[in-house]
Amino acid sequence: MKTCLIVDDSKVIRKVARHILEALDFTVAEAGDGREALSHCRQSCPDVILLDWNMPVMSGMEFLRALGDEPLPHRPKVVFCTTENGMAHIRAAIEAGADEYVMKPFDRETLHSKLQIVGVA
Ligand SMILES: [Mg+2]
């Protein structure tokens, strides 16, 4: 089974994403901010990361930059989550190393197709 780390400060979003990902046969882990996500990656590097932009402690963008400096066994694919009024962030996220993006709120088909694009589903 592929592993996915959901990184979002919203418990509700994490719950919705977990539900979708488990239905797609992923083993799921959760983190509430970028710093938690980084320490998770050091211990157990996931195949893919679903990454929120706005989070306390360490934002999605700060996490992306920090991830690039980590000596990990492999580079996880990163699907960046944004809202419609956050479109301007997408280019910055892709430049910082994100592989794809998905608009919130996302449904199962949308998320599945993004995971297929990055090659993990
Ligand atoms: Mg957030």
- pLDDT tens for the chain, 121 residues long, are 999 999 999 999 999 999 999 999 999 999 999 999 999 999 999 999 999 999 999 999 999 999 999 999 999 999 999 887 777 888 889 999 999 999 988 999 999 999 999 999 8
CA of 98 to the centre of ligand 1 (A): 17
Residue 61 neighbours by CB distance under 10 Å:
19
The environment of the single-atom ion ligand 1, i.e. residues with CB closer than 5 A, is 9, 52, 54-55
Does the domain made of 3-117 have the CATH classification 3.40.50.2300? yes
CA of 8 to the centre of ligand 1 (A): 6
CA of 13 to the centre of ligand 1 (A): 9
CA of 101 to the centre of ligand 1 (A): 15
CA of 11 to the centre of ligand 1 (A): 10
pLDDT digits (tens, 9 = 90+) for 28-43: 999 999 999 999 999 9
Domain ranges of the chain: 3-117
Average per-residue pLDDT for the chain: 95
Q: Is 33 left (phi over 0), alpha (psi -120 to 50) or beta?
A: beta
In DSSP terms, 30 is beta-bridged to 6
Spatial CB neighbours of 64, under 8 Å, sequence gap ≥ 6: 51, 78, 80, 93, 96, 97, 98
